[in-house]
Structure 1
Amino acid sequence: MSPTPTFRKLSILVAAYNEEETLADCLQAVRAVTLPAGLEREIVVVNDGSRDRTWEIAQQLAADYPDVRVFQQPQNMGKGAALRRAIQEMSGDLVIFQDADLEYEPQDYPRMLRPILEGKAEVVFGSRFTGEERKVLYFWHTLANRFLTLLSNMLNDTNFTDMETCYKAFTAASLRAIPLESDRFGIEPEIAAKVARNRLRMFEVPINYNGRSYDEGKKITWRDGLAALWFIFKYRFSSNYSDAGKVTLDALEQAPQFNLWMYESVKPWLGDRVAELGVGRGNLSRHIRLHGQVLLTDYRIDYLTELKGKWATQKNLQIGKLDMTERGDYEQLRAFAPDSVVFLNVLEHLEDDRAVLRNLFETVPAGCRIVVLVPYNMKLYSEFDKALGHFRRYAKGELEGKMNEAGLEVEKQFFFNKVGVWAWYVANTLGGQKALKPWQLRIYGILTPIFRVLDGILPTSGLSTVVIGRKAAATSAPPSDPASQVAEQLSTSSR
């Protein structure tokens, strides 16, 4: 379990459409809830183009209560669109969705928040079907709900009992990281699919439910149920569920042969004590962790939490947070004293790559190797590079020169994935593709044995360049002429 996080404010997001009869009572009930100790609250109400007095009532409530903030949609756009607007406006670090009709009981907030406050979850669904008293309503509506939940669970490999529930709680960071698209009630299957695909830690708790009849103002219809079928499939297979970097790392999991090839290409220089920086979701770490003593680092806590859960029992493994833009974070490398520091497809994401290499030179022991793989050739720079957050693709000799400036000796340079140049150029440079597709990586993985052979035959550059630097045993200051030093070292290594 990760350390218990500290939260300060709960944002309660209310999408309201033609709720003049219930909005005031709903907000009174929300304000009456006793929140867990230390939590402030804000209530963010978005009026979704109501045709009754909902907006007038919302404005009066905001005038009466400082913790109520209200916003107006330009027209009726749907529940999903209203919630997206509320997410943009919220300021809390915890979030709960609340319907304006009081079908759901705000007294359940502490129960909803408990798994998150205890550090066990990032997302909590409230279930209307697990162990609480509930109002008896429509059979066919309930049957449809359970069918949609079953289908969503099958496709997303989850076991929720109530996918369509309104009550969902999140850490604000996890919710903001999910790109939501649905305008209407498709927001429910969309969230269920995307929290699963982001591998967020999910809990479900029982809640009370006092459902409305259609005479009392219930708005969801059979048409929304049919639409939900489409959304369940759409969002299960959509690549727009997270940032481009996470989507790409997930896609790379579909090509284990390719990941093994990348690891084996650098393995001869790694040694027994290996520190991997920018590990992401651990596609390379699954091989690196089998060395003698291993330190895995990343700046993203969600990745580190996932890896700690996966490899918690491995005794030779340390996992720690290291932000490569923060000088102080490198000190753990001094304590670990690695034989090698390896980071693959990481340095291009950092604007000041020279600072990274200097910090490594200052904190690793003498004799330590720095093993780096980066994308090569700015002529291949594409929209996909931008989406991934690449500041650059490296030119000939560029990384070698920067290593030498930092005081590192360059031992070896070679190109990796030569066939990939053509695939990248067609799909991304010409085609404008902004994400790798899992099926593309599966095919590429199947063909990897052929590509490995061709890498040793083709007299061309590759999609990536690999450079191995080394901190010499006796160093005093960086060399005064980096270019000549690089040329001499490369000449020596090729003899």
Structure 2
Amino acid sequence: MRLSVIIPVHDERPTIEQILERVRAVPIDKEILVIDDGSRDGTREYLQARPPQPDLRVFFQPENRGKGAAVRRGLDEARGEVVVIQDADLEYDPQDYRKLIEPIDQGLADVVYGSRFLGWPRRVLRFRHQLANRFLTTLSNLATDLNLSDMETCYKMMTRDVAKTLRLRSDRFGIEPEITAQIARLGYRVYEVPISYHGRDYWEGKKIRWTDGIAAVWTILRCAFAADEHDEDAGYRILQRMQKVSRYNRWMWQQLEHFVGNRVLEVGSGVGNMTRFLLRRERVVATDLNERYLRILRQLFGSYPHVTIDRFDLNDGRPPPGAERVDTVLCLNVLEHVEHDDRALASLHDLLEPGGRLVLLVPALRALYGSLDRALEHRRRYRRAELLDKLRAAGFEIEDSWFFNLLGVAGWYLNSRLLRRTTFPPLQLALYDRLVPLLRVESRFRLPVGMSLIAIGRKPRRR
């Protein structure tokens, strides 16, 4: 497992040579990436004059943009399976890499934070600095629902797959809470380990200022309420926001649970909002065709021995590599994306063992089709008779069907047809999640209309 050590540097001429020696002395297979962020004290000239070394790559920013910009550059350039951020000021000891990498190497963690407040030795410095750090960590924990002891630590180690899913934009010290917010939002497994810390004072070159604390507060709040606005993938934005409506997700699962067997193929798993409910089944194959989603699924569920993560494109209908017959295919909000849905249904029929079930959920009511559907690349919304006819044509017997989520009709029409939005506002979803008791009342009745349509198709048993 190769480690990429990212060292953002700005005016660190007194320490740059020593930190490089300390990093190189750690007996771990690694590459060192130094990103000079417009230094003017001779650091840049020193780096330019160093002879080339196979384990060292140096990048020069055209101007001073801040630590966050330098870290982003390093993450883009990293080639190792694991990456870690290393300040150049000698406050953090590279010998701690071995403690940081252990939970990742053992398959326990996707991200590891080195906490200055759990370890020793630790230089005693100003109380107000510690107080500010505790405040920022507490505020971040409230926003992310993590229980970190040191959010602001420089030592953040993560797999490269995790790093590639981050969409960072902070240029300065706001990078710390931004990384934390996105890691929490993506649901990665986070560990903390104790590290030593030898902090320096301002006369020794410490750069962080009180204004950076204010900027960190702003970043925490921005990430809490609009963390994914910059992401161009509308489907990803909605999936991430839907991850937070835990009551709604659980209610949806409860509507389907008794139809789901023990060997399940989930088609279009996305970021795992429903996959997490399948973990008690004997065998789970979670699939998607989006590489970004597959990376997230592997990070979340790859350590479970009974879970397989595979690419599966319902458009071509070819089964995942090594796929076996299953007793249940779970296909939620996927069929509407497929050009030839009749062929897709026939393919799903073939993947089922005799007597197996297809649990299908699709958007209903053509009158609701609007900007949200276009952003999500929906090709259609279904009529009930149309869907059931296609299921029968694919060889299924109809076990049950019903409309689902009448309460959502008004919200979809408002956002998609009237306001022409491409995603749901987070606060609106949070409010909707609180209305699940009303949805539970609705589910006691078989209403003639709803935002979605659920159908249960059974593959006939051999005679």
TM-score when scaled to structure 2? 0.80
- Corresponding position: 1:146 with 2:139: no
Q: Which of 35, 39, 51 matches 1:46?
A: 35
Alpha carbons of 1:446 and 1:467: their partners in 2 closer, same or farther (altered >3 Å)? closer
What SS does the aligned partner of 1:342 have?
A: strand
Indicate yes or no: 2:385 matched with 1:392.
Answer: no
Cα deviations across residues 459-493 of structure 1 (Å, max 9, x unaligned)? xxx43233443323459xxxxxxxxxxxxxxxxxx
2:405 to 417, 442, 445: 417
| Pick aligned residue for 1:177 from 152, 165, 179 | 165
Percent of matched pairs sharing the same residue: 39
Tell me what 1:255 maps to: 248
Report the CA distance shift for 1:285/1:224 in structure 2 as closer, same or farther (over 3 A).
closer
Q: Is the 8 A contact 2:66 2:171 kept in 1?
A: yes
Aligned partner of 1:489 in structure 2 is none
Mapped contact 2:72–2:168 kept (Cα < 8 A): yes
Change (3 A) 1:131 1:82: closer
Mapping of residues 78-93 of structure 1, within 5 Å: 78-93=66-81
Please say which of residues 390-399 and 415-424 is displaced more in the overlay: 390-399
Structure 1 residues 343 and 153: CA distance shift in structure 2, 3 A: same
Q: What are the ranges of 5 or more consecutive residues in structure 1 without an aligned counterpart?
A: 1-6, 476-495
User: Are the equivalent residues in 2 in contact too, given 1:16–1:48 (CA < 8 A)?
Assistant: yes
- 1:245-300 per-residue CA deviation (whole Å, 9 max, x = no partner) reads 541331331436xx536743x578x276573615567765788789xx66444234
Query: Residues 31 and 341 from structure 1, CA distance in 2 versus in 1: closer, same or farther, beyond 3 angstroms?
Result: same
Cα deviation 1:78-113 (Å, max 9, x = unaligned) = 111221122122222201001122221112211111
2:150 is matched with which residue: 151, 158, 162? Answer: 162
* Aligned match of 1:56: 45
| Alpha carbons 2:403, 2:447 under 8 Å: kept | no
The 1:412–1:120 alpha-carbon spacing in structure 2 relative to 1, beyond 3 Å, is closer
Report whether the alignment pairs 1:20 with 2:7.
no
Q: Residue 123 of structure 1 contacts residue 202 of structure 1 at CA under 8 Å; is this kept in 2?
A: yes
CA distance in 2, matches of 1:72, 1:378: 54
Separation in 2, partners of 1:175, 1:386: 30
What does residue 96 of structure 1 align with?
84
What is the rounded CA distance, in whole Å, between the counterparts of 1:84 and 1:173 in structure 2? 14
For residue 460 of structure 2, what is the aligned residue in structure 1?
472
Secondary structure in 1 aligned to 2:152? coil
What is the match of residue 480 of structure 1?
A: none
Bigger Cα displacement from structure 2, 123-132 vs 275-284: 275-284
| Compared CA separation, residues 56 and 383, structure 1 to 2 (3 A) | farther
Q: Give secondary structure in 1 for the equivalent of 2:354.
A: coil
Distance 1:50 1:464, change over 3 A: same
Deviation at 1:177, TM superposition (A): 1.7
Q: 1:342 to 1:302 in 2, by over 3 A?
A: same
* Alpha-carbon contact 2:363-2:382 (below 8 Å) kept: no
Deviation at 1:121, TM superposition (A): 0.9
Mapped pair 1:217 → 2:217: no
Alpha-carbon distance between aligned partners in 2 of 1:171 and 1:271, rounded to the nearest angstrom? 33
Give the partner amino acid of 1:275: V
In structure 1, the partner of 2:290 is: none
Map 1:273-288; keep pairs closer than 5 Å.
275=264, 277-278=266-267
What's the RMSD between the two structures over aligned residues? 3.7
Counterpart residue identity of residue 44, structure 2: W
1:1-12 equivalences under 5 Å are 7=1, 9-12=2-5
The answer (yes or no) to whether the contact 1:296–1:319 under 8 Å persists in 2 is: yes
Aligned partners of 1:261 and 1:130: how far apart in 2? 41
- Structure 1 distance, partners of 2:260, 2:88, is 60
In 1, distance between residues paired with 2:61 and 2:343?
A: 46
The one-character-per-residue Cα deviations of 1:295-325 (angstroms, maximum 9, x if unpaired) are 444234755775799xx9xxxx964435433
Amino acid at match of 1:57: Y
Name which of structure 1's ranges 355-364 and 187-196 shifts more when overlaid on structure 2.
Answer: 355-364
Is 1:205 equivalent to 2:193 in the alignment? yes
Seen in structure 2, the aligned counterparts of structure 1 residues 412 and 133 have a Cα distance that, compared at 3 Å, is: closer
Contact persistence 2:371–2:420 (CA under 8 A):
no
Bigger shift: residues 118-127 or 407-416: 407-416
Q: Secondary structure at the match of 2:13?
A: coil
Cα pair distance change 1:361/1:27, threshold 3 Å: same
Summarize the alignment of residues 80-479 of structure 1 with structure 2, pairs less than 5 Å apart. 80-240=68-228, 243-255=236-248, 259-260=250-251, 263-264=254-255, 270=259, 275=264, 277-278=266-267, 295-299=283-287, 300=294, 303=297, 319-325=307-313, 327=318, 329=320, 333-334=324-325, 336=326, 338=327, 340-348=328-336, 356-376=344-364, 384-385=372-373, 390=377, 392-396=379-383, 403=391, 406-409=394-397, 414-429=402-417, 430-435=419-424, 437=426, 438-448=429-439, 456-457=447-448, 462-473=450-461
Give the 3-state SS of the residue equivalent to 1:21 in structure 2: helix
Distance (Å, rounded) in 2 between the aligned partners of 1:102 and 1:214: 14
Larger CA deviation: 113-122 vs 276-285 = 276-285
- How far residue 332 of structure 1 moved from its aligned partner, in angstroms, is 5.2
Contact 1:383/1:432 (CA < 8 Å) preserved in 2?
yes
Unaligned stretches of 5+ in structure 2?
288-293
Larger radius of gyration: 1
Normalised to the residue count of structure 1, the TM-score between the two structures is: 0.76
Structure 2 residue identity aligned to 1:392: R
